[in-house]
Amino acid sequence: MLHGNFRRSILIASLAIMGTVGLGSISAQEKPPIRIGFGMAETGPMAANGKAAKLAMEIWREDTNAKGGLLGRKVEFVTYDDQTNPSLVPGIYTKLIESDKVDLVVSGYGTNLIAPAMPTIMQRNLTFVSLFGTAVNQKFNYPRYFQVMPNGEDPAVGLTYGFFEAAMQAQPKPLTVALVGGDAEYPALALEGARINAKKMGLKIVYDKTYPPNTTDYAPVIRAIQATNPDIVFVASYPPDTVGMIRAANEVGLKTKVFGGGMIGLGFAAVKKQLGPLLNGVLGFELYVPEPTIKFPGVEGFLKKYQGRAEKEGVDPLGFYLPPYGYAMMEVLGTAIEKVGSLDQGKMAEYMHKNTFKTVVGDITFADNGEWKVGRPLYVQYKGVTGNDIDQFRKPGKAPIMFPKDLKSGELRTPYEEARKQ
């Protein structure tokens, strides 16, 4: 009899366990993952940045899921390689929305790969958080667009203002400026902002020209600038010509108080390695540097994770330029979902417009046009760079911040011909 009772107890316990497992399965089915879709450049000219951004976003997804996901649901990504080809972008986002049935979408990297997605997003009234699009919403004026890049409400002016604010620290006070950039989309926008800021600062523009995108010899450009004897030289450039212009300035022996500008690429480990001590004296544009004045909560922990995986993933080993902002983009989206308590696109957009977000790149508050209300591009002056080892940039002192004032960590050294000898 006792034996029969024992068997009956085992059977009841087994049924109870099975029932619990069954309920757990039902619960899991009731809470499917939140699926977030995006295109990203994994091949083509922007692949290096696209892969770095995607790794940063993956780290956010892993961190989020380790904490229980969003709304009690795990997060999954559905992604496609846009091949750095704008013509593929509309099809990718149509597929994500109509075939893959993702819950949310975010952008890929860069203006040229964000703008083509906008009509598809707008037709469906989706909330769209984007990564490093320059003034994309000026054309669309879409109220559910949000941009993660610290250029401020007026991107062209905000991007370049810090350079001029820092350059005007030179003594005696600068009076003239030369403006130069590639004949391409980004330089055109940056030069437009530079003209506005030069006028605000009371500077006389003595040179204002562009060079063809296929330029390989920049020495004639530097010599033409030198002939006007400017106090400040502002350059708007993409990575290849950033390298070319800095090399030419050193070869020609450019004489000016301040040399630099909105030179894209200075934040890349590959460009730092390539230029090494030729960076010294340049007043350049960065998005993160390990200076003691930058204490954004979580950024150091994120970079430690990123850098620990970067070499294996074959991406930028420093991760100063784009990765923290890729992580922050997803922080903004995740916070909005949690605070709203649903995936309601309209409510998320409304929340984003009304609230400040705590992220690894600091506080973000969005203006009506989806840009940052307060911009925070960094302008640094490279100092004491020796050799071509990128590990030196992991420590403070190689790129002290000149702007913004609340993050300033060094004093501007002028003239450029003296500053570059460090």
Can you give the pLDDT at residue 161?
96
**For 124-148, how does the pLDDT look when each residue is reduced to its tens digit (9 = 90+)?**
999 999 999 988 999 999 999 999 9
Tell if the pTM clears 0.75, that is, is over it: yes
pLDDT in tens, 22-60: 444 444 346 899 999 999 999 998 899 999 999 999 999
pLDDT digits (tens, 9 = 90+) for 200-234: 999 999 999 999 989 999 999 999 999 999 999 99
Residue 266 confidence (pLDDT) = 96
pLDDT of residue 12: 44
Distance CA 160, CA 185 (A): 15
Q: What is the pLDDT of residue 142?
A: 98
Confidence tier at 185 by pLDDT (50, 70, 90): confident
If you average pLDDT over residues 189-197, what whole number do you get? 96
Tens digits of residue pLDDT in 78-123: 999 999 999 999 999 999 999 999 999 999 999 889 999 999 999 9
Domains of the chain: 34-152+297-365 (3.40.50.2300), 155-294+376-419 (3.40.50.2300)
